[in-house]
Amino acid sequence: FVPVVDHKACIKCSLCAIYCPEGCIHLVDGQFVPDLDYCKGCSVCANECPRMAITMVLEEK
């Protein structure tokens, strides 16, 4: 699974980046973006988001 951010729902609180155990969520051009090369799919970011702006979707190969 990989995180997908709904940038319209995101309030930029940065909790996703703070709690990401891999440190793979970065602020890019004013939006939080996960680096999928390092993401382990743990869903901590989605669970910590107060606006539920991050959903975990099945990664297509």
The answer on pLDDT for 61 being more than 90 is no
Q: Is the pTM of this model over 0.75?
A: yes
Average pLDDT over residues 1-20: 97
- CATH class, domain 2-57, is alpha beta
Q: Please, are residues 18 and 42 in contact by the beta-carbon 8 Å criterion?
A: no
pLDDT recorded at residue 28: 97
Instruction: List all residues 6 or more positions away from 8 whose beta carbon is below 8 Å from its beta carbon.
Output: none
The predicted-structure confidence for 23-56, as pLDDT tens digits, reads as follows: 999 999 999 999 999 999 999 999 999 999 999 9
Token readout for 10 is 């995101």
